[in-house]
Amino acid sequence: MAKGRRRKSYGHHNTVSAIIVYTLLALLLVGGVTVGGAMWYVHHTDEEQAAQASAAKAAEARRKQAFIAKVAPTAQSLYSQYKIFPSITIAQAILESDWGESSLSAEYNNLFGVKGTNPANTKEMTTQEYVNGEWQTIKARFRVYASYAQSITDHAQLFTRGTTWNAQQYQRVLAAQDYKTQAKALQADGYATDPDYASKLIEIIATYGLTKYDPAAAGQTSQAGASSR
């Protein structure tokens, strides 16, 4: 009888062991599924974020190219009359209007921060200017334009008519034979208060390949001038 009871006890232990084993296997299976699911979720999330970042980058590139395409034709059409390199005009528009997204450009088509005094065609706004070695926030009146083309034309005319105190203010700008010289002349002739203005324009032109909008003859003159120096 004792032996029979021991055999029954063995069977009971075997059942308990099997339950434990199955439980452990189930836990391992659930754990594996959970870990695998978590890893898939992380991987899937990373892929989604990468796709979103890529889409945002592509949209940003399209937005910038659309702005350049909007400014370039007028800038090119004015070169023969005013001798402002289209690459310079486009770079100035990019820098000064933040790709057409500044309040001044978005609301009033003023791409270059051109100021005025007539309340009938200006708006008072705040701006940052570099004065006495530091950036300062000031209020000033800025011209209001009906279109980008009107703003670009007025900007080009500014260089030929000069300022109210000096009609010859921008003679070095007009005499420049390449975009780099013209960028530096803008700063030297007092067009902008930013001490890094010329280098910023040159960097923008190089980054976005804006010299392709300049006349071919002007580019050849620039190359000839560079080789002779």
Instruction: Report the catalytic residues.
Output: 129, 154
Contact between 83 and 158 under an 8 Å Cβ cutoff? The reply is: no
Q: What are all long-range contacts of 175-180, with beta carbons under 8 Å and residues at least 24 apart?
A: 176/83, 176/85, 177/218, 177/221, 177/222, 177/225, 178/85, 178/218, 178/219, 178/221, 178/222, 178/225, 178/226, 179/85, 179/87, 179/88, 179/205, 179/211, 179/214, 179/222
State the sign of the Cα–Cα–Cα–Cα dihedral 80, 81, 85, 90.
Answer: negative
Distance CA 204, CA 168 (A): 27
The b/e string for 11-25 (b: 16+ C-beta within 10 A; e otherwise) is eeeeeeeeeeeeeee
Residue 119, helix vs strand vs coil = coil
Which of 151, 152, 160, 150 lies closest to 83 in space, CA to CA? 160
Write out the two tokens for 66: 């659309």
Compute the distance between CA of residue 9 and CA of residue 4 in angstroms, rounded to an integer.
9
